[in-house]
Amino acid sequence: MFNTHIIIDNKGDIVQTYRKLHLFDVEIPEKNVRLKESDFTSPGSHVVTPVDTPVGRIGLEICYDMRFPELSTTLGSMRADILTFPSAFTYVTGMAHWHLLLRARAIENQCYVLAAAQTGQHNAKRRSYGHALCVDPWGEVLADCEEEGPCYKIAEISLEKLADVRRNMPVFQHRSDTVVFFISDKKFKDMCEVNPHWASVVDYDLVTPNLGTDVYSLYTLSLRNKLLAEHSVTAVTSTTTNQIHDVENSESMYVFGQAKVPESCVFYKTNLTYAFVNLRCVIPGHVLVAPIRLAERNRDLNDEEAADFFKTVRLVQRLMEKVHNVNSSTVTIQDGPEAGQTIKHVHCHILPRKKDDFIDNDLIYLELAKHDKVSPTTPRKPARSLQEMREEAAMLRKELEIMTQDSEKQN
């Protein structure tokens, strides 16, 4: 059983659930004190992304979570506008820390904070503090329900004020690019390529607390089952770029947004679409499909181009699954900059998947988001040599020919 925070929309649909990460476990025999949530609930294992609502993006936390600022900061990095803390603080700790903690979380993350709270005497040993609060991003308490019986109050959430606070003191822009990360479990550490970096975040159900990991900073990890080879980003990138420049005069080049693709790296093409091998592969067999005409977004394709594009995607997916002997693929389009698109030319990533190729299956999307973001200080995927890409493209052309012949025989 989990202590779960649920968001329900105006249609009655559950749109997000968060399981409490931090359980309040206190046992002091000499004071006859025992409050252990772990006796009846299990901890959650991951942060969840904020929910888009008419009043802003709502981040989900629960009660004791407010004592762990990294969680709120993680939600802030996900662009949360409102942090929510349904709570049942004890009277003693509430008197000492309730207002301080909630105002601190609001100020440091420049978010509104909403904290519903139980109040009153539960039994002879337990009394809840109450004081349901609304705090603005400047730390001002907008509403306080005090502690005397059931109560509700109304406060105004102003996204204009929120934007003004963030504009006047842009703390998230000033945040260091390096996030301190500790992993105490050697086995887990040996399985990970750790690249500390403040990055975009998605939901991760990754590890359990006994691994000793910082669950709030898991988005800084590349959780592969095999480490990347060490490489010099500057040298590799420069060499490959120079190789591509050298072939421009000797073979045709396809325009791919702000980049170019040598014809020798293309393994399939129609009048409207082409498929080609990748400069930096998240996993072996990671290839791309794009329209020949420069179209930045999926919406920019005309009907004929769109039909041919997705027909090609299906064909190439079949090919890559056959070549790599798998029956699953990740097929995805990063359509627009907020979706992670870095090349301004709509394209589809096709990645043949094998069981346990990542510690957590959906971490492939994190890798996809950062595999082509290369800098000397935070090396990502190494660029492949032009020769390696040419050889793969030639192999795929042959395999596609065989697959086509086999299909024709069956028909």
| Nearest Cα residue to 374 out of 235, 265, 242, 253 | 235
H-helix segments, 60-143: 69-77, 91-93, 99-109
Catalytic site residue from 5, 131, 347, 371: 347
| Nearest Cα residue to 321 out of 289, 353, 367 | 353
CB atoms within 10 A of CB 314: 12
| Binding-site residue positions | 278, 334, 349
Residue located via tokens 């399985």: 191
| Binding-site residue positions for substrate | 278, 334, 349
d(CA 111, CA 386) in angstroms, rounded, equals: 48
Q: At CA 214, angle to CA 209 and CA 219, rounded to 5? A: 115
Is 371 annotated in the active site? no
d(CA 219, CA 197) in angstroms, rounded, equals: 8
Q: Residue 259: CB partners within 8 Å, gap ≥ 6?
A: 343
**CA quadruple 148, 87, 25, 70: dihedral sign:** negative
| Nearest Cα residue to 117 out of 144, 78, 82 | 144
Q: Residue 170: CB partners within 8 Å, gap ≥ 6?
A: none
Q: Residue 300: CB partners within 8 Å, gap ≥ 6?
A: 346
Strands 266-269 and 259-262: unpaired
Which amino acids are annotated catalytic?
347
